């Protein structure tokens, strides 16, 4: 092989990632030299970087699947849409983070630098064309998140959560790698497309392959926080500073969906009959445990953690039939759920004050008397999460249920709706506390104008999407089919 055989890979499909990597380094350097009073600039540059990456993603929006870096990096419409939402959600997340960190003296550059690296990891993850890229993206994401959880280094619960997250996360990564190695052993390739093509040809290696699949599913289930791999979720959600919880609860869910699609559909689509059963078990367990345990929570961050577990169950319900329409339904579910989780944690951030974190359900008592507008926004968020029409959460549940019923999994759909009734109970409790109880501290809670606008846009988007979900649904179906 002559040296001239080396060709520079096409960089354009990965333009946004490359830009973001550069900007993350810039933010890191700028932050070092910045005096404390200009700290807000770090946040602004980080948000500008996200905006720039977003523009690049949209400018290079692919019409069809394209690969670069010898097939390890895939740019397809699905990845582009997931990245668009990742960047948007992270941009909102950074805004909420500033609102929280500034008054608490935690406004350090680390949050934004780590956040940018995490976003980069997620973008690589959803564009993975190779098990190695997948792992690389996942680790970049996870390592950034471990550090972010311990952002407030004086907080004991924070450090404990970070430790727990790290140990369990490392275990899951190990499982994933182990599974990948088995898949490599039986197919002789790490390239997702090659693995997908060779599955049908591996008659006698099938057992190894399925065993590998089990470990991959475990790894993905851990990252999504599905029962029984959910142990880290409540502790991390509760222990981490709220803006970090908000970040972990939103964008990584989109990335994890991308990972699910890449590993299970692109790579192991030939084993759909096998993983479908595993996902059904995970789905039922997650919906059951998530919804039932959430009832017992008094801390709203913990409650939302269990609610997240239950929602992951619903995502799996859409994946279980193994059809493109089902994937599109799950994608719609993830995107809309992330919007709701974003709003939910934003409310927790808004209600908190330096020295008093509003992370107990009791803090929402009588909110309607203290600030009717925000109470109404929270009402929308909670009822949407519960899946009551006319909010978008209903359509999300509806679309995954439709796919399950279409595939003949009627009992799964019945189980899902019954658990959603259980779920309704604790979402209604928040509404009940806000509207039907009188506040302990009747002082009105105010909000800065920017906070009010952002939260309102967030919550009203849920209402608007609920009245007209068609466009986003069409988009999901179009990019999954592409």
Q: With CB under 8 A as the contact rule, which of the stretches 242-250, 260-268, 337-345, 469-477 interacts with another protein?
A: 469-477
* Residue indicated by tokens 């959560």: 161
Assess 414 for contact with another protein (CB under 8 A): yes
The footprint of another protein on residues 111-130 (CB under 8 A) is none
Measured at the alpha carbon of residue 149, what is the angle toward residues 144 and 153, in degrees to the nearest 5? 115
Assess 421 for contact with another protein (CB under 8 A): yes
Question: How many chain residues bind another protein (CB under 8 A)?
Answer: 34
Q: At its nearest, how many Å lie between another protein and the CB of residue 246?
A: 26
Q: At its nearest, how many Å lie between another protein and the CB of residue 430?
A: 12
Assess 432 for contact with another protein (CB under 8 A): yes
If you ran DSSP here, which 8-state letter would residue 62 be given? -
Measured at the alpha carbon of residue 25, what is the angle toward residues 21 and 29, in degrees to the nearest 5? 170
- For residue 197, CA distances in Å to 182, 200, 267, 351 come to 16, 7, 8, 52
Q: At its nearest, how many Å lie between another protein and the CB of residue 372?
A: 7
Assess 331 for contact with another protein (CB under 8 A): no
Q: At its nearest, how many Å lie between another protein and the CB of residue 464?
A: 13
| 74 phi/psi in degrees, rounded to 5 | -110, 130
Q: At its nearest, how many Å lie between another protein and the CB of residue 302?
A: 21
Assess 477 for contact with another protein (CB under 8 A): yes
- For residue 204, CA distances in Å to 200, 208, 270, 409 come to 10, 9, 15, 30
Comparing CA positions, the residue from 354, 199, 172 lying closest to residue 267 is 199
H or E stretch covering 74: strand 73-75
Give the residue with the Cβ less far from another protein, 275 or 426: 426
H or E stretch covering 68: strand 66-68
| Nearest-angstrom CA–CA distance, 315 and 317 | 5
Comparing CA positions, the residue from 292, 288, 283, 291 lying closest to residue 317 is 283
Q: Which ranges of 320-409 does DSSP label H, i.e. alpha helix?
A: 324-351, 367-370, 372-386, 392-406
Q: At its nearest, how many Å lie between another protein and the CB of residue 331?
A: 12
Q: At its nearest, how many Å lie between another protein and the CB of residue 28?
A: 43
Assess 235 for contact with another protein (CB under 8 A): no
Give the residue with the Cβ less far from another protein, 195 or 416: 416
The footprint of another protein on residues 346-405 (CB under 8 A) is 372, 383, 388-390, 394-395, 398-399, 401-402, 405
Assess 108 for contact with another protein (CB under 8 A): no
User: If you compute the radius of gyration of the chain from its CA atoms, what whole number of angstroms results?
Assistant: 22
Comparing CA positions, the residue from 395, 245, 244, 390 lying closest to residue 307 is 245
Give the residue with the Cβ less far from another protein, 179 or 469: 469
Q: At its nearest, how many Å lie between another protein and the CB of residue 321?
A: 12
Assess 481 for contact with another protein (CB under 8 A): no
Assess 435 for contact with another protein (CB under 8 A): yes
Q: With CB under 8 A as the contact rule, which of the stretches 22-30, 256-264, 300-308, 415-423 interacts with another protein?
A: 415-423
Q: In this structure, what token pair is assigned to residue 341?
A: 């989780």
Q: In this structure, what token pair is assigned to residue 348?
A: 């927790």
Interacting residues with another protein (CB under 8 A): 372, 383, 388-390, 394-395, 398-399, 401-402, 405-406, 410, 413-414, 417-418, 420-421, 424-425, 428, 431-432, 435-437, 468-470, 473-474, 477
């Amino acid at each position: 092989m002559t040296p001239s055989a080396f060709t520079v890979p096409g960089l354009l499909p990965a333009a946004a990632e490359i830009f973001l990597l550069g900007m993350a380094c810039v933010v890191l350097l700028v932050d070092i030299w910045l005096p404390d009073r200009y700290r807000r600039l770090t946040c602004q540059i980080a948000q500008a970087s996200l905006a720039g990456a977003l523009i690049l993603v949209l400018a290079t929006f692919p019409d069809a699947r394209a690969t670069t870096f010898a097939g390890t990096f895939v740019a397809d419409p699905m990845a582009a849409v997931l990245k668009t939402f990742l960047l948007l959600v992270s941009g909102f997340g950074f805004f909420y983070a500033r609102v929280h960190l500034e008054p608490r003296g935690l406004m350090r550059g680390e949050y934004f630098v780590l956040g940018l690296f995490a976003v980069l990891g997620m973008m690589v993850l959803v564009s993975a064309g190779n098990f190695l890229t997948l792992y690389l993206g996942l680790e970049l994401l996870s390592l950034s998140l471990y550090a972010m959880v311990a952002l407030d280094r004086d907080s004991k619960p924070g450090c404990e959560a970070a430790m727990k997250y790290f140990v369990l996360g490392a275990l899951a990564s190990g499982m994933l790698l182990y599974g990948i190695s088995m898949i490599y052993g039986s197919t002789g390739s790490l390239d997702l497309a090659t693995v997908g093509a060779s599955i049908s040809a591996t008659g006698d290696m099938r057992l190894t392959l399925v065993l590998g699949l089990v470990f991959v599913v475990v790894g993905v289930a851990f990252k999504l926080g599905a029962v029984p791999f959910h142990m880290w979720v409540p502790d991390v959600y509760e222990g981490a500073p709220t803006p970090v919880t908000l970040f972990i609860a939103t964008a990584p869910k989109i990335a994890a969906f991308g990972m699910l699609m890449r590993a299970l559909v692109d790579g192991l689509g030939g084993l759909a009959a096998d993983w479908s059963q595993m996902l059904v078990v995970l789905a039922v367990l997650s919906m059951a445990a998530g919804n039932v345990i959430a009832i017992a929570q008094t801390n709203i961050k913990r409650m939302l953690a269990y609610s997240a577990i239950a929602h992951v169950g619903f995502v799996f319900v859409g994946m279980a039939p193994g059809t493109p329409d089902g994937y599109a339904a799950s994608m719609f579910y993830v995107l809309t759920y992330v919007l709701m989780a974003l709003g939910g944690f934003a409310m927790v951030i808004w209600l908190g004050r330096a020295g008093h974190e509003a992370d107990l359900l009791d803090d929402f008592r009588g909110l309607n008397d203290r600030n009717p507008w925000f109470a109404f926004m929270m009402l929308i968020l909670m009822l949407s999460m519960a899946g009551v029409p006319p909010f978008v959460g209903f359509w999300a549940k509806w679309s995954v249920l439709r796919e399950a019923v279409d595939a003949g999994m009627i009992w799964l759909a019945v189980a899902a709706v019954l658990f959603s009734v259980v779920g309704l109970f604790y979402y209604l409790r928040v509404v009940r506390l806000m509207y039907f109880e009188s506040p302990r501290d009747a002082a009105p809670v105010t909000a800065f104008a920017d906070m009010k606008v952002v939260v309102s846009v967030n919550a009203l988007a849920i209402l608007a999407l609920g009245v007209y979900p068609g466009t986003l649904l069409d988009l999901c179906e179009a990019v999954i089919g592409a």
